[in-house]
């Protein structure tokens, strides 16, 4: 026996389908054949399914060696086993050893290994004894509770800065929910970084300089043209805003064309005309201030995120300890010498206190290993690599493929696999290197497409647009593939048709994918001899799964979705979740209005809405009380089941199935003594729980991440428009050594205004993200055994003929560039008469011998049909339902009156004072409105009529502010109280406020706030002005009434609670007595003005 070959430390870089599991199982059997005790072999991977596959492969291969002489012959001929040929006697001994030692075989996931190890460290590791593993819903609730605790002590500026940093600073949101979406990843980054990594230079602010520049700009405005004066006015407003509260507007200032052209790299031209010195000089100084302001803003935002983490993480740990709960990451962290409580020597000791010492390590899918996991497993790895005690040989096998590294979002770092010889052991460790590029899965046609796309990826313009480094990196990784299988098959790249004017892009994707999948079903059937699906549709995100499943079923093709297992993908179940949300919070207007627009309106005691009406406060609260009483008396499961039966004849099959699953979820909760009971927690559970897809057979539709490790006879890859770069919350440095602490972290900044000091940390993040996107595309295409259909949208180009960045830097752009179809001739304008198939290889095959697939009729070439869908945005997003389903029964489409009100609302918000309107003509205002609020094509379908429509709205704004009463309210001037102040006034538009109440901490946005300053308030910016009064004005788009007293009373009552919450927040912020705060509502459709009393 060749012991050196058996016990060699080896790293195998195995491309997709090249026999990764085969090689790992072969090494395992080699070791046992060489006399190694199986209990001393540790084989690890990342999922239970993968661990089971390895275990089955080891046992099955051993059994086949015993029962089939031909298998032994083939193994000998191909050199399957490094120790040499295996005879019948050796095969029998091998199987006996494995079966008798079956309970002790250590073929397991890394997570289960770490749980066992961490339990041995005891409470000193930070994991309580006798803990329970927290499920997904419990973990989410613990995190929300921890966020809530951390926000209790946070002041308003901290909360506003946090939301601004998370990109939610201008929306009315529940603060806990906004933080929850980002905090998990942030905590992981914080645990891997040094405290200093989050600190950035903070240049001092200079409010005096800002005030001086503003004086110069205002003085120069009378001599400017209308366009230049308007642009300067916006800069003045933004500067005043940052003078009052230093922060986010610096980004808009630095990104403005006017400031950019006056900067050191600008040409001083504005619309091809030189700017006068009276403003170019001050604007050049503005540029310098904005550069410093953006760096200061980046520093503040980054510190804000770190402060948030430092509050939430300890609260989360405390809540877990009290509940005696833990997650897998807690156990892994406990083993990390850099992060856990146990010292490194304690961890080393623990590894060797195991029942049996580990002498051979087999590590699978190592490209997905995180730095924390590597540090936890390093003690045994280094012991093995050092040769141990010399009595018995030891060995390590590491298998992976950097090109399939798609789990960076959960900490996987492919650099660990690439640089394994540097991060393990003392000095450089030598591995026997093997690189596998011959596929045993895919047909020549599929491999030809793989080579066409990725051989030469280093020069692909779609990748280089964002990251030349990622293009070159993947180019170094990729070797041209070949295949060992002489299979008939076909690889095709197709252009999707363009959506019609009133059609949704998602519908085009769904219809195109369904047609292509139906053709593949005709060739391969629905399932193979083992009952596994033969055809899959792969997408980048979950949103497309539901519509594709529905489009397939509309064609009588059975289909199911993986990853779409959510109750949110059916309209009826979304409406019922809104009923729980309303029961939890009588002030939840979004839930009430969604219910009023649904088929459930009368069932929950709400008036049916045509899409425009607001639900009156009294009726909303009465419905909430009735729902709480109903749930309390009957039980949630019984109520939902009754609703389901009542609506049975109005539901689609999918909706019926989802409602049955909702009932089952509620019944399971009812049977669990520790399950959630309040409507709020029930709603949250129903929103986040995972359920099986209705009808779990046929074509499977899933995300690329879920397809990892799987293969199908036919694959459709679609939904390829999204950017290669996913905009993260933070930019993170790539450490010099993969296992080292992260040395630099910053909040994410857009490229145009990114501080120079943070460019490299952003580029590091971009390079990693784009590389992972390429890996995702590689994984998607290599899932196909015989046929693959790749569907891309046509390229877009700018007016100057250059490719549009969003179109180019995408999966679709990568594929189009690779096949040479990313030219202006391929743009949508050239689609007339153009072909759908733009690249092909191989030949179509019918169901062939050995496929063992269900037979199906041959399907003709695709015919495209596209369904229209409502564009109304809802609080909970759900995909469009199947053909034949009257979506209007659940949620109605855009309302012209509502759209008109929103545009007028936006126009009013754009004005600082009513007098600003006097300086604008109707055309200029109409153009400004069109830029601020693009109209829904469903409202005005004729492009020629759009300009006229905007001019009508501009005229409506002029008419509204032409009324003396409205004008006075708008400017904060009115009778009595705080009206007509003797001092000066300042305006805050779209001002965010932190509102604390029984429903938690929320962010509200005041449309218009006029602050009245004391008569003796000094002009010096160094002194804080005294606020002596405030006028809060909110613009409402309620349906016009008849102007009667009852109409005005109802209008006032609908919004009284909201306005009073604003008054409390403003009073707290500026120390104002309620009598000094005036509350006014303006109904924009008919110019009605009402005062709102406090209390």
How many domains does the chain contain in total?
6
Surface-to-core class of residue 417, CB atoms within 10 Å of its CB (0-12 exposed, 13-18 middle, 19+ buried): buried
Residue pair 993/1060 in contact (Cβ under 8 Å)? The answer is: no
Residue pair 11/420 in contact (Cβ under 8 Å)? The answer is: yes
What is the distance between the alpha carbons of residues 625 and 765, in angstroms, rounded to a whole number?
49
Q: What percent of the chain has pLDDT over 70?
A: 84
**What sign does the dihedral 809-813-815-817 (CA atoms) show?**
negative
With CA atoms as reference, report the closest residue to 539 among 820, 783, 866. Answer: 783
What is the distance between the alpha carbons of residues 445 and 570, in angstroms, rounded to a whole number?
38
Is 50 exceeded by the pLDDT of residue 855?
no
Q: Concatenated DSSP letters for 591-657?
A: HHHHHHTSTTTGGGT-----SSPPPPHHHHHHHHHHHHHHHHHH-HHHHHHHHHHHTGGGS-HHHHH
CATH number at residue 548: 3.40.50.300
3-state secondary structure (DSSP) of residue 137: helix
Weakest mean pLDDT among 346-360, 602-616, 774-788, 895-909: 346-360
Among 688, 714, 736, the domain-final residue is: 688
Q: Concatenated DSSP letters for 1024-1058?
A: PPPEEEEEEEEEE-PPP----HHHHHHHHHHHHHH
- Token code pair at residue 309: 């983490």
Q: Concatenated DSSP letters for 1001-1015?
A: EEEEEEEEEEEEEPT
In this structure, the answer to whether residues 731 and 711 fall within a common structural domain is yes
With CA atoms as reference, report the closest residue to 23 among 34, 14, 32. Answer: 14
pLDDT band, very low/low/confident/very high, at 198 (cuts 50, 70, 90): very high
Is 70 exceeded by the pLDDT of residue 484?
yes
Residue 97: alpha-carbon gap to chain centroid: 48
Residue 970 lies in a domain: yes
pLDDT band, very low/low/confident/very high, at 351 (cuts 50, 70, 90): low
Q: Concatenated DSSP letters for 488-504?
A: --EEEEEEPPPPPTTB-
pLDDT value at residue 1037: 76
HSE of 157, CA atoms in CB hemisphere, 13 A: 8
Surface-to-core class of residue 556, CB atoms within 10 Å of its CB (0-12 exposed, 13-18 middle, 19+ buried): exposed
What digits encode the pLDDT tens for the residues 279-319? 999 999 999 999 999 999 999 989 988 988 998 989 998 88
In this structure, the answer to whether residues 383 and 515 fall within a common structural domain is no
pLDDT band, very low/low/confident/very high, at 259 (cuts 50, 70, 90): very high
Q: Angle, nearest 10°, between helix axes 922-932 and 896-909? A: 110
Is 70 exceeded by the pLDDT of residue 948?
yes
Is 70 exceeded by the pLDDT of residue 613?
no
What is the distance between the alpha carbons of residues 771 and 472, in angstroms, rounded to a whole number?
10
- Token code pair at residue 865: 């049909």
Q: Concatenated DSSP letters for 722-748?
A: SBSS---SEEE---SSTTSPB--EEE-
pLDDT value at residue 949: 86
Query: Residues 820-837: what's their mean pLDDT?
Result: 77
What digits encode the pLDDT tens for the residues 901-914? 778 888 888 888 88
With CA atoms as reference, report the closest residue to 466 among 28, 763, 225, 871. Answer: 763
pLDDT band, very low/low/confident/very high, at 610 (cuts 50, 70, 90): low
Residue 860 lies in a domain: no
Residue 1029's DSSP bridge partners are 1012
In this structure, the answer to whether residues 189 and 309 fall within a common structural domain is yes
Select the more confidently predicted residue: 884 or 693: 693
In this structure, the answer to whether residues 514 and 615 fall within a common structural domain is no
- Token code pair at residue 1043: 């102007």
Surface-to-core class of residue 378, CB atoms within 10 Å of its CB (0-12 exposed, 13-18 middle, 19+ buried): buried
Residue pair 901/895 in contact (Cβ under 8 Å)? The answer is: no
Beta pairing class for 41-45 and 106-109 = parallel
Residue 899 lies in a domain: no
Surface-to-core class of residue 553, CB atoms within 10 Å of its CB (0-12 exposed, 13-18 middle, 19+ buried): buried
Select the more confidently predicted residue: 37 or 347: 37
**Greatest mean pLDDT range, 121-135, 434-448, 878-892:** 434-448
Q: Concatenated DSSP letters for 330-382?
A: HHHHHT-TTTSSS-HHHHHHHHTTSSS---EEEE-SGGG--HHHHHHHHHHHH
List b or e across 878-913, with b for residues whose CB sees 16 or more CB atoms inside 10 angstroms: bbbbbeebebeebbbbbbeebbbbbbbbbbbebbbe
Residue pair 254/290 in contact (Cβ under 8 Å)? The answer is: yes
Select the more confidently predicted residue: 829 or 51: 51
What digits encode the pLDDT tens for the residues 871-882? 233 333 333 333
pLDDT value at residue 347: 54
Residue 700's DSSP bridge partners are 536, 560
Residue 981 lies in a domain: yes
Terminal CA-to-CA distance of the chain, rounded, Å?
90
CA-atom Rg of the chain in angstroms: 32
Residue with tokens 């460290």: 121
Neighbours of 543 (CB within 10 A): 16
In this structure, the answer to whether residues 156 and 234 fall within a common structural domain is no
Query: Residues 544-558: what's their mean pLDDT?
Result: 89
pLDDT value at residue 977: 39
What DSSP state is assigned to residue 804?
Answer: P
Total-model pTM = 0.78
In this structure, the answer to whether residues 30 and 162 fall within a common structural domain is no
pLDDT value at residue 1051: 87
With CA atoms as reference, report the closest residue to 142 among 373, 327, 368. Answer: 327
**Greatest mean pLDDT range, 754-763, 976-985, 1080-1089:** 754-763
In this structure, the answer to whether residues 336 and 430 fall within a common structural domain is yes
What digits encode the pLDDT tens for the residues 951-987? 888 888 888 888 888 888 898 886 543 444 445 788 8
**Greatest mean pLDDT range, 358-367, 371-380, 423-432:** 358-367
Weakest mean pLDDT among 121-125, 368-372, 547-551: 121-125
Query: Residues 530-550: what's their mean pLDDT?
Result: 88
In this structure, the answer to whether residues 89 and 184 fall within a common structural domain is no
Select the more confidently predicted residue: 694 or 934: 934
3-state helix, strand, coil in the chain (%, to 5): 50, 15, 35
Select the more confidently predicted residue: 959 or 197: 197
Residue 256 lies in a domain: yes
Q: What are the C-alpha distances in Å from 199 to residues 157, 298, 306, 1010? A: 19, 10, 9, 36
In this structure, the answer to whether residues 529 and 480 fall within a common structural domain is yes
Neighbours of 873 (CB within 10 A): 7
Surface-to-core class of residue 1082, CB atoms within 10 Å of its CB (0-12 exposed, 13-18 middle, 19+ buried): buried
In this structure, the answer to whether residues 261 and 395 fall within a common structural domain is no
φ and ψ at 24, to 5 degrees?
A: -65, -45
In this structure, the answer to whether residues 610 and 717 fall within a common structural domain is no
Residue 337 lies in a domain: yes
Q: Which domain holds residue 149?
A: 135-202+300-323
Is 80 exceeded by the pLDDT of residue 595?
yes
HSE of 965, CA atoms in CB hemisphere, 13 A: 9
With CA atoms as reference, report the closest residue to 511 among 533, 486, 544, 471. Answer: 544
pLDDT band, very low/low/confident/very high, at 537 (cuts 50, 70, 90): very high
Among 246, 273, 294, the domain-final residue is: 294
Among 294, 315, 343, the domain-final residue is: 294
Residue 693 lies in a domain: no
In this structure, the answer to whether residues 1087 and 969 fall within a common structural domain is yes
**Greatest mean pLDDT range, 637-641, 807-811, 845-849:** 807-811
Farthest-apart Cα atoms in the chain, separation: 105
What digits encode the pLDDT tens for the residues 743-753? 999 999 888 88
Tell me which long-range contacts 679-685 makes (C-beta under 8 A, separation of at least 24).
Answer: 679/580, 679/581, 679/583, 679/584, 679/627, 679/628, 679/631, 679/636, 680/580, 680/581, 680/584, 680/585, 681/141, 682/580, 682/636, 683/577, 683/580, 683/581, 683/584, 684/137, 684/140, 684/141, 684/144, 685/137
Residue pair 1014/1029 in contact (Cβ under 8 Å)? The answer is: no
Is 50 exceeded by the pLDDT of residue 1094?
yes
Query: Residues 97-104: what's their mean pLDDT?
Result: 88
Query: Residues 565-587: what's their mean pLDDT?
Result: 85
What digits encode the pLDDT tens for the residues 617-635? 888 889 998 998 888 888 8
Residue pair 780/715 in contact (Cβ under 8 Å)? The answer is: yes
Residue 129 lies in a domain: no
What is the distance between the alpha carbons of residues 434 and 12, in angstroms, rounded to a whole number?
5
pLDDT value at residue 337: 61
Mean model confidence pLDDT for the chain: 82
Q: Angle, nearest 10°, between helix axes 277-323 and 207-220? A: 140
pLDDT band, very low/low/confident/very high, at 125 (cuts 50, 70, 90): low
Residue pair 517/552 in contact (Cβ under 8 Å)? The answer is: yes
Q: What percent of the chain has pLDDT over 90?
A: 32
Residues shown for the chain:
1095
């Amino acid at each position: 026996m060749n012991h050196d070959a058996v016990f060699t430390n080896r790293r195998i870089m195995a491309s997709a389908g090249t026999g990764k599991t085969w090689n790992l199982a072969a090494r395992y059997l080699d070791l046992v054949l060489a006399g190694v005790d199986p209990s001393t072999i540790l084989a690890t991977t990342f999922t239970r399914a993968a661990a089971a596959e390895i275990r089955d492969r080891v046992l099955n291969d051993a059994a086949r060696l015993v029962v089939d002489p031909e298998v032994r012959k083939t193994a000998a001929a191909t050199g399957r086993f490094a120790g040499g040929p295996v005879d019948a006697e050796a095969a029998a001994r091998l199987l006996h050893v494995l079966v008798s030692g079956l309970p002790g075989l250590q073929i397991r996931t890394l997570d289960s290994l770490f749980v066992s190890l961490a339990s041995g460290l005891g409470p000193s590791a930070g994991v309580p004894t006798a803990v329970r593993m927290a499920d997904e819903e419990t973990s989410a609730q613990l995190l929300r509770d921890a966020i809530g605790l951390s926000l209790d002590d946070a002041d308003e500026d901290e909360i506003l800065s946090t939301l601004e940093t998370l990109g939610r600073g201008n929306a009315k949101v529940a603060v806990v929910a906004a933080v929850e979406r980002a905090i998990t990843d942030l905590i992981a980054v914080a645990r891997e970084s040094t405290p200093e990594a989050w600190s950035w230079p903070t240049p001092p602010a200079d409010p005096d300089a800002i005030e001086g520049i503003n004086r110069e700009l205002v003085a120069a405005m009378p001599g400017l043209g209308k366009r230049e004066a308007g642009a300067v006015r916006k800069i003045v407003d933004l500067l005043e805003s940052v003078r009052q509260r230093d922060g986010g507007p610096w980004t808009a200032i630095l990104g403005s064309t006017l400031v950019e052209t006056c900067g050191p790299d600008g040409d001083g031209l504005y619309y091809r005309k030189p700017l006068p010195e009276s403003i170019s000089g001050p604007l050049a100084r503005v540029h310098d201030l904005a550069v410093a302001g953006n760096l200061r803003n980046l520093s503040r935002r980054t510190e804000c995120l770190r402060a948030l983490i430092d509050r939430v993480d300890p609260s989360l740990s405390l809540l877990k300890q009290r509940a005696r709960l833990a997650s897998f990451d807690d156990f892994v962290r406990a083993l990390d010498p850099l992060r856990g409580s146990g010292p490194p020597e304690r961890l080393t000791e623990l590894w060797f206190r195991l029942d049996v010492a580990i002498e051979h390590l087999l590590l699978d899918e190592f490209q997905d290993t995180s730095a924390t996991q590597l540090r936890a497993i390093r003690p045994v790895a280094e012991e093995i690599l050092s040769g141990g005690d010399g009595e018995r040989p030891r060995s390590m096998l590491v298998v992976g493929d950097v090109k399939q590294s798609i789990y960076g979002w959960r900490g996987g770092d492919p650099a660990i696999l690439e640089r394994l010889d540097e991060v393990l052991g003392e000095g450089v460790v030598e591995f026997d290197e093997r690189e596998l590029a011959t596929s045993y899965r895919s047909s020549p046609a599929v491999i030809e497409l793989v080579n066409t796309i990725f051989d030469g990826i280093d020069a692909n313009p779609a990748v280089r647009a964002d990251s030349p480094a990622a293009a070159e990196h993947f180019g170094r990784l990729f070797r041209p593939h070949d295949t060992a299988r002489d299979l008939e098959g076909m690889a095709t790249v197709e252009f999707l048709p363009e959506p019609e004017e009133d059609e949704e892009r998602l519908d085009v994707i769904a219809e195109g994918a369904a047609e292509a999948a139906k053709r593949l079903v005709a060739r391969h059937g629905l399932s193979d001899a083992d009952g596994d699906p033969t055809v899959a549709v792969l997408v980048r995100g979950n949103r497309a799964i539901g519509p594709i499943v529905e489009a397939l079923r509309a064609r009588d093709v059975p289909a199911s979705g993986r990853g779409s297992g959510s109750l949110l993908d059916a309209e009826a179940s979304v409406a019922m979740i809104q009923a729980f949300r309303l029961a939890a919070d009588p002030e939840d207007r979004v839930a009430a209005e969604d219910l009023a627009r649904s088929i459930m309106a009368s069932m929950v005691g709400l008036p049916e809405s045509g899409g425009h009406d607001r639900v009156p406060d009294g009726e909303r609260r009465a419905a909430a009380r009735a729902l709480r009483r109903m749930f309390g008396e009957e039980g949630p499961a019984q109520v939902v089941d009754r609703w389901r039966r009542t609506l049975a004849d109005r539901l689609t099959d999918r909706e019926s199935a989802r409602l049955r699953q909702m009932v089952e979820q509620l019944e399971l909760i009812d049977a669990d003594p520790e399950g959630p009971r309040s409507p709020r927690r029930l709603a949250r559970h129903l929103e986040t729980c995972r359920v099986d897809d209705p009808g779990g057979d046929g074509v499977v539709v899933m995300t690329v991440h879920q397809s990892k490790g799987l293969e199908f006879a036919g694959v459709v890859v679609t939904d390829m428009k999204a950017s290669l770069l996913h905009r993260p919350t933070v930019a993170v440095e790539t450490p010099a050594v993969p296992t080292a602490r992260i040395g630099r972290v910053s909040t994410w900044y857009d490229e145009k205004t990114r501080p120079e000091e943070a460019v490299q940390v952003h580029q590091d993040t971009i390079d990693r993200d784009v590389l992972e996107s390429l890996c995702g595309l590689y994984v998607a295409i290599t899932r196909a055994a015989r046929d693959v259909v790749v569907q891309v949208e046509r390229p877009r180009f700018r007016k100057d003929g250059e490719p549009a960045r969003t179109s180019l830097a995408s999966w679709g752009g990568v594929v189009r560039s690779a096949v040479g179809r990313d030219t202006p001739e391929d743009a949508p304008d050239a689609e007339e008469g153009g072909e759908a198939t733009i690249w092909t290889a191989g030949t179509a095959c019918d169901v062939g011998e050995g496929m063992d697939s269900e037979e199906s009729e041959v399907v003709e070439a695709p015919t495209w049909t596209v369904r229209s869908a409502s564009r109304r945005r809802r609080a909970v997003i759900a995909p469009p339902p199947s053909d034949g389903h009257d979506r209007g029964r659940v949620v109605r489409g855009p309302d012209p009156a509502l759209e008109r009100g929103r545009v007028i609302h936006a126009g009013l918000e754009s004005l600082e004072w009513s007098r600003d309107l006097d300086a604008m003509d109707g055309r200029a205002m109409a153009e400004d409105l069109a830029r601020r609020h693009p109209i829904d094509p469903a409202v005005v379908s004729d492009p020629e009529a759009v300009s006229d429509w905007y001019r009508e709205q501009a005229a409506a704004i002029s008419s509204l502010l032409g009324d003396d009463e409205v004008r006075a309210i708008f400017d904060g001037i009115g009778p009595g109280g705080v009206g007509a102040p003797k001092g000066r006034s300042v305006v805050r538009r779209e001002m965010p406020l932190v509102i604390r109440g029984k429903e938690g901490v929320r962010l509200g946005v005041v449309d218009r706030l006029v602050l009245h300053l004391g008569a003796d308030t000094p002009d010096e910016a160094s002194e804080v002005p005294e606020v002596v009064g405030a006028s809060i004005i909110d613009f409402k788009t309620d349906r016009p009434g008849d102007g009667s007293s009852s109409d005005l009373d109802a209008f006032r009552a609908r919004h009284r609670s909201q306005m009073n919450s604003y008054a409390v927040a403003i009073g707290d912020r500026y120390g104002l007595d309620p009598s000094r705060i005036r509350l006014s509502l303006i109904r924009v459709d008919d110019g009605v003005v009402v005062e709102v009393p406090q209390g």
